[in-house]
Amino acid sequence: MPPARMTPAAGGAGTGRSWPALAVLALSVLLWAAGVSLGLAHGPLAGVPVFDVVDVVTYSAFLAWTVVGGVIITRRPSNRIGWLLCATGLLVLLGACATQYALASLLGGWSALPGGRAAAWLAPWTTVLGLSLWFWLLLLFPTGHLPSQRWRWVAWLYGLLALPGIGSLALLPSTQPGGFSELGPIPNPLEWEAAAAVLGPVNATAQVLATALLGAAAVSVILRLRRARGIERQQLKWLAYAAVVLAGYYLLAYLYTQGAVRSIPPLVDAAVSGLSLVVVPAAIGVAVLRYRLFEIDRIINRTLVYGLLTALLGAVYAAVVLVLGLLSGGLGTAPPTWAVAGATLAAAALFQPARRRIQQAVDRRFNRRRYDTARTIEAFSTRLRDQVDLDTLAAELMAVVDQSMEPTRVSLWLRPSPDGSSGTAHGRTTRMGLWLRTNSGGRWSAHRSEEEPDRGAVQGPELRRRQGSASL
């Protein structure tokens, strides 16, 4: 299979389909600007959470969903993922803007703004509808098609559940959450008191079943990952990485609400929440557009290494401070300055050796190919000091290259050095050249240690072609 290349959509098809994406992007920018402006303008309101920097960052993160979706539509108009990203960002921003508009009109004293009650009705269900599209993102990623025809009933069932779920949410006669800031004391303008006994169970049942189907969509991603190869496997790795980051954010938010995490600085909270929401569309964009697709292995590796390293050094720091604090005055007193300094120095001294050990452990467990390659090269370097026979050295070098780089073609040649150069006891030296053809990161490339020899140069044995070993 030929190597993957990112090429723009051809001619008129791409141009004809790009204007809806631009229109959605422009509308999303207007909704973001209106929502942020109204939230900052109406100020604190009774019974409503204060609009702060976290809300601004959250709105901006969902604007990024629309931006990434528009780029995907422009470059890959046939892929449904771009349209789903645009729809998610647009609906969430519509709900956010409607929330702030309703608060300003009905609670903020801006009675001159018309349609406040309509905005209060629109805010809750548009936000939920936008977030519900995550199901389709999981089920259709990365190709824009179902994993197989057997998943069609799951898609239809989720769509059928969405209708009564969203409909009951729009008609429930209780105060409804509106997007990311609750509507406070504002009731549902279209509340249907007579059907409250029915709408409540219908909405609760739809939520439970939709959550179960969302889990089924996540299972479909895992099944795709297990049988995927080449480009599709790398694309799914990007989504899996983003999902882990988002799950980590929600775990941190849960611990915060439960009191396990006592306080988080507002700027740190804003940065973490924004990053966790932006990483999903960013990963999807990289995966679908195939931009630096194969860097995900390095990103995962670095995340594991430095995450474990941070946890280890943090535990060492806490343990040293605790022990020195006990020795100096017990648990009831603050640790002395010299104990904190000693713990810092201990953590700094452990940084490099701990990083090397953790890197080796991660490579051995999650990146076995890199670990085996490093061991092979290390063993060859040891033998290289004692090997003097050129034929044996050439054979071993070719074997090492074959095992570590797995090229599709490799040639080795020997060339006598020019007369007059410093050499061996026989007065002459031999220069060695290596020519490789590999498929690195989905792109063909050639590596040469010397210029390719003339026809008269002596060439060594050539490795067999590896049919399909490096093709995608």
Q: Span 184-196, mean pLDDT?
A: 72
Same domain, 395 and 447: yes
Alpha carbons 117 and 122: distance in angstroms, whole number: 9
Q: Span 208-219, mean pLDDT?
A: 90
Same domain, 254 and 326: no
Is residue 411 within 8 A of residue 460, CB to CB? The reply is: yes
Alpha carbons 157 and 461: distance in angstroms, whole number: 61
Same domain, 109 and 223: yes
Is residue 421 within 8 A of residue 373, CB to CB? The reply is: no
C-alpha count within 13 angstroms, C-beta hemisphere, residue 217: 26
Residue 2 lies in a domain: no
The pLDDT of residue 65 is above 50: yes
Residue 302 lies in a domain: no
Give me the residue label for tokens 């104990």.
Answer: 339
Confidence of residue 457 (pLDDT cuts 50, 70, 90): very low
Burial of 314 from C-beta contacts in 10 A (0-12 / 13-18 / 19+) = exposed
Domain holding 449, by residue range, is: 370-462
Q: Residue 445: what pLDDT?
A: 39
> Which domain-ending residue is among 366, 386, 415?
366
Q: Residue 358: what pLDDT?
A: 87
Q: Span 265-272, mean pLDDT?
A: 72
Residue 298 lies in a domain: no
Is residue 306 within 8 A of residue 159, CB to CB? The reply is: no
Is residue 439 within 8 A of residue 470, CB to CB? The reply is: yes
Question: Highest mean pLDDT: which of 184-193, 237-246, 399-408?
Answer: 237-246
Angle at 347 between CA 341 and CA 351, to 5 degrees: 145
Residue 469 lies in a domain: no
The two tokens of residue 55 are 């809300």
Confidence of residue 452 (pLDDT cuts 50, 70, 90): very low
**Residue ranges in 148-265 assigned as alpha helix (H):** 152-171, 196-227, 230-258
Q: Residue 411: what pLDDT?
A: 67
Same domain, 226 and 331: no
Same domain, 328 and 445: no
Q: Span 258-263, mean pLDDT?
A: 63
Residue 73 lies in a domain: yes
Same domain, 168 and 266: yes
Residue 303 lies in a domain: no
Q: Residue 372: what pLDDT?
A: 66
Instruction: Give the pLDDT confidence of 394-446 residue by residue, as tens digits.
Output: 777 777 676 666 666 666 666 665 554 444 444 444 555 555 554 444 333 33
Instruction: Give the pLDDT confidence of 354-409 residue by residue, as tens digits.
Output: 888 888 888 777 666 666 666 666 776 776 666 666 667 677 777 767 666 666 66
Residue 140's nearest CA partner among 128, 132, 130, 148 is: 148
Same domain, 360 and 398: no
Residue 1 lies in a domain: no
Q: Residue 465: what pLDDT?
A: 34
Neighbours of 347 (CB within 10 A): 18
Q: Residue 342: what pLDDT?
A: 82
Burial of 189 from C-beta contacts in 10 A (0-12 / 13-18 / 19+) = middle
Same domain, 56 and 164: yes
Q: What would the DSSP string read from start to end of 274-329?
A: HHHHHHHHHHHHHHHHTTTGGGHHHHHHHHHHHHHHHHHHHHHHHHHHHHHHHHHT
Position with higher pLDDT, 445 vs 142: 142
Confidence of residue 30 (pLDDT cuts 50, 70, 90): very high
Least confident of 97-101, 173-177, 305-309: 173-177
Position with higher pLDDT, 400 vs 237: 237
Number of domains composing the chain: 3
Residue 472 lies in a domain: no
Residue 430's nearest CA partner among 388, 383, 461 is: 388
Instruction: Give the pLDDT confidence of 294-326 residue by residue, as tens digits.
Output: 777 788 888 888 888 888 888 888 888 888 777
Distance between start and end Cα atoms, the chain: 6
pTM of the model: 0.69
Pairing of strands 409-416, 458-462: antiparallel
Same domain, 362 and 376: no
The two tokens of residue 71 are 């780029």
Burial of 404 from C-beta contacts in 10 A (0-12 / 13-18 / 19+) = middle
Q: Residue 254: what pLDDT?
A: 74
Q: Span 145-149, mean pLDDT?
A: 88
The two tokens of residue 197 are 């006994």
Residue 181's nearest CA partner among 92, 108, 99 is: 99
Same domain, 362 and 374: no
Q: What is the 3-state secondary structure (H, E, C) of 366-381?
A: HCHHHHHHHHHHHHHH
Residue 362's nearest CA partner among 319, 299, 424 is: 299
Q: Residue 32: what pLDDT?
A: 94
Alpha carbons 419 and 433: distance in angstroms, whole number: 18
Is residue 412 within 8 A of residue 398, CB to CB? The reply is: yes
Alpha carbons 187 and 172: distance in angstroms, whole number: 10
Same domain, 243 and 121: yes
